[in-house]
């Protein structure tokens, strides 16, 4: 009986026994710092041809089983990573037509939405609920639905709060925002467009709840448009309006970025400045607390010269995929002063980190377990930041006002649950991945604060811990 790991909807300081820990600056030959390696698979073992590209993730709500969605030239692979040491290749959805270097994926309402630069590819819709019940693996899946009002498409952004998808880089609307209503995922329909600002390479779209009172509650797009970031009010899909441009000196190719959780700051990368200007890997920081007047607050220079690609914010950590430099994690705790700090990395392509288009394409850091999946042109990785790095994350990443923490980590037969903003809890239940109740705890009336759970009789395996009065705090348990 080994250690107990609990993951929740808030990022916690938790630990797992990694298959290959990062020690002495290396994990199985991969240069690293504060990130452990769980698994690595070449894309050929996942049904891939030619190259890998984008990655996203999905969690089955009732069981908390975790799945990675890995784009490849010839289709999309689905990998269960609930046991990160033993990932399971479930199957793949073939490309709608031709192979392509580019394929991008987002998720809404248990459906994956997949686009590609292949001509006439359109938008593939895939019902992810097929994955947990699939047998005779691996499965060659079929599309659930298809949307053909555009052909090729570079990327897709989805606002999960509203059920609208924003296809970008298509042959429609000058390559700008092609807006699709996906509230009925199996029947996507066009809802509007914004093409006045030209080609959009990537975007993030949110319901704005940041500090600018003029726009609170509105749906706002941050569109990365090759030489600027266009901030667009897309609340009315038939009459989208430009708010402002975020600009910086000597742009080479405004590529991608992500907002801080409080929507006060925007982090952005320029994909070609490393090659064209010889700069070190550079992250731009904008103050967007006044959407009408975005200001360049500063920038972070890495000690590497790799090209930057995709980045995502989770609480106070910024997860960057920087091609040949691999996964880089930055602390954004001091962002108000224009300062970022690299606190961890995992180099997916050992060797010189030149400014070349190879290495880590993207990453997905939003699994409740805290594990991170990383895609490269040739491999799929499962890694995990160390406890020390996760402990840096002082910002809650869930919209839920309640919080649950587990300590100490690791723990053998007993673990403790510290509850914030929770009272009147009467029970805790433990279910296996088949949904069977295997253990329950009756608590003193009105319990809250710190709970003690004895789990010495549980066999090794994967479980869900459920708080019946507070289902939003459902947690995954791995007992090794």
pLDDT in tens, 167-205: 999 999 999 999 999 999 999 999 999 999 999 999 999
Contact 269, 282 (CB under 8 A): yes
**Residue 474 clears pLDDT 80, i.e. is over it:** no
Confidence of residue 8 (pLDDT cuts 50, 70, 90): very low
124 against 429, higher pLDDT: 124
Q: In what order do the strands lie in the sheet with 425-432?
A: 4-7, 475-479, 461-466, 425-432, 437-447
Confidence of residue 413 (pLDDT cuts 50, 70, 90): confident
Domains, the chain, with CATH or none = 1-17+400-480 (2.60.40.3080), 18-385 (2.130.10.10)
pLDDT in tens, 417-471: 766 555 566 788 887 766 788 888 777 665 555 677 677 888 876 677 777 777 6
pLDDT value of residue 4: 28
**Residue 289 clears pLDDT 60, i.e. is over it:** yes
The proportion of the chain whose per-residue pLDDT surpasses 90, expressed as a percent, equals: 75
pLDDT value of residue 16: 35
Closest CA to 158 of 128, 129, 188, 199: 188
Confidence of residue 12 (pLDDT cuts 50, 70, 90): very low
Q: Give how far Cα 54 sits from Cα of 95, 106, 304, 333, 387, Å.
A: 14, 10, 22, 28, 27
Classify strands 317-321 and 189-194 as parallel, antiparallel or unpaired. unpaired
pLDDT value of residue 105: 98
Residue tagged 């290396």 (tokens):
26
Q: Is the peptide bond before 389 cis (omega within 30 degrees of 0)?
A: no
Query: Where does residue 19 rank: exposed (0-12), middle (13-18), buried (19+ CB within 10 A)?
Result: middle
Contact 340, 283 (CB under 8 A): yes
Distance CA 42, CA 375 (A): 10
Q: Which residues are CB-neighbours of 55 under 8 A, at least 6 positions away?
A: 68, 69, 70, 71, 105, 361, 362, 363, 364, 373, 374, 375, 380
């Amino acid at each position: 009986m080994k250690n107990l790991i609990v993951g929740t909807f808030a990022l916690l300081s938790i630990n797992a026994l990694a298959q290959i820990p990062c020690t002495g600056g290396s994990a199985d030959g991969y240069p690293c710092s504060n990130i452990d390696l769980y698994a690595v698979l070449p894309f050929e073992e996942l049904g891939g041809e030619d190259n890998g590209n984008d990655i996203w993730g999905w969690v089955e709500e009732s069981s908390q089983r975790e799945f990675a969605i890995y784009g490849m030239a010839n289709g999309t692979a689905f990998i269960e990573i609930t046991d990160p040491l033993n990932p399971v290749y479930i199957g793949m959805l073939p490309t709608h037509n031709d192979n392509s270097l580019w394929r991008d994926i987002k998720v809404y309402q248990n459906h994956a939405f997949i686009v590609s630069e292949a001509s006439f590819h359109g938008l593939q819709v895939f019902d992810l609920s097929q994955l947990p019940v699939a047998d005779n693996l691996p499965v060659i899946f079929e599309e659930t639905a298809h949307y053909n009002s555009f052909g090729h498409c570079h990327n897709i952004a989805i606002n999960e709060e509203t059920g609208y998808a924003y296809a970008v880089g298509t042959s429609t609307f000058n390559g700008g925002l092609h807006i699709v209503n996906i509230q009925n995922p199996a029947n996507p329909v066009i809802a509007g467009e914004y093409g006045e600002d030209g080609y959009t390479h990537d975007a993030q779209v949110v319901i704005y709840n940041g500090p600018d009172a003029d726009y609170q509650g509105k749906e706002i797009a941050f569109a990365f448009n090759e030489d600027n970031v266009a901030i667009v009010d897309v609340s009315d899909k038939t009459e989208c309006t430009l708010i402002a441009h975020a600009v910086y000196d000597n742009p080479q190719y405004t590529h991608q970025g992500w907002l801080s959780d409080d929507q006060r700051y925007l982090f952005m990368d320029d994909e070609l400045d490393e090659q064209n200007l010889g700069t070190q890997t550079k992250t731009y920081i904008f103050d967007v607390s006044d959407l009408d007047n975005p200001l360049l607050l500063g920038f972070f220079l890495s000690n590497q010269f790799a090209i930057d690609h995709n980045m995502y914010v989770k609480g106070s950590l910024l997860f960057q995929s920087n091609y040949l430099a691999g996964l880089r994690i930055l602390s954004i705790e001091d962002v108000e002063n224009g300062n970022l700090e690299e606190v961890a990395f995992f180099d997916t392509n050992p060797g010189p980190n030149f400014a070349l288009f190879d290495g880590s394409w993207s990453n997905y850091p939003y699994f409740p377990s805290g594990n991170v999946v990383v895609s490269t042109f040739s491999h799929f990785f499962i890694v995990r930041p160390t406890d020390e790095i996760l402990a840096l994350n002082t910002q809650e990443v869930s919209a839920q006002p309640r919080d649950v923490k587990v300590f100490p980590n690791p723990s053998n037969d007993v673990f403790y649950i510290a509850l914030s903003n929770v009272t009147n809890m009467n029970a805790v239940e433990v279910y296996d991945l088949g949904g069977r109740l295997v253990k329950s705890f009756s608590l003193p009336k009105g319990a809250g604060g710190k709970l003690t759970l004895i789990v010495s009789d549980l066999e090794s395996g994967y479980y869900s811990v459920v708080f019946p009065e507070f289902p939003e705090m459902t947690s995954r348990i791995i007992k090794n």
